Amino acid sequence: MSDCIFCKIINGDIPSSKVFENEHVMAFLDISQVTKGHTLVIPKVHKENLYELTPEIAANLFEAVPQIANAIKQEFNPIGLNVLNNNGEHAGQSVFHFHMHLIPRYGKGDGFG
Ligand code: 5GP
Ligand code: ZN
């Protein structure tokens, strides 16, 4: 989609700090990190939210998540990790290209939750 920020990141029109990429999936650091290493995981096809994902897209995404989580663990050494997904404005979604937040946790006062 031409006016989608995340499609522009996939195309390289907007720069990002890439954490992972394969044929179907991309992961990059959130521009406004709630904790160090806060990462977004997105499908390369434009789908607005969870309801629009096909089983194949969902499978491709989740297949990559453990590898991405391990890369974050190695790089940032958190003591925990939250996986979060917002669907719809009222649930806190602000970018309407499906994404999962991987939020590394560092203990009390780490800025999240
Ligand atoms: P949502 O609120 O839709 O669940 O999450 C959208 C996330 O995208 C936010 O955490 C926000 O900081 C992040 N974001 C918005 N624009 C950009 C951008 O241009 N680059 C990156 N890396 N993250 C972005
Ligand atoms: Zn998009």
Alpha-carbon span 9 to 84, nearest angstrom: 20
Global pTM exceeds 0.95: yes
Q: Is 49 in the pocket of ligand 1 (CB under 6 A)?
A: no
Q: What is the mean pLDDT of residues 68-76?
A: 97
Residues 6+ apart with CB under 8 A from 70: none
Length of the chain: 113
ipTM above 0.95, yes or no: yes
CATH of domain 5-105: 3.30.428.10
Identify any residues that bridge with 84 across adjacent strands, giving them in sequence order: 101
Q: Is 89 in the pocket of ligand 1 (CB under 6 A)?
A: no
Alpha-carbon span 36 to 95, nearest angstrom: 21
Catalytic, 99? Answer: yes
User: What is the structure's pLDDT at 113?
Assistant: 78
**Which residues are close to ligand 2, an ion, with C-beta < 5 A?**
1, 4, 6-7, 46, 97
| Ligand 1: residue whose CA is nearest its atom 17 | 31
Q: What is the mean pLDDT of residues 73-93?
A: 98
Q: pLDDT tens, 103-112?
A: 999 999 998 9
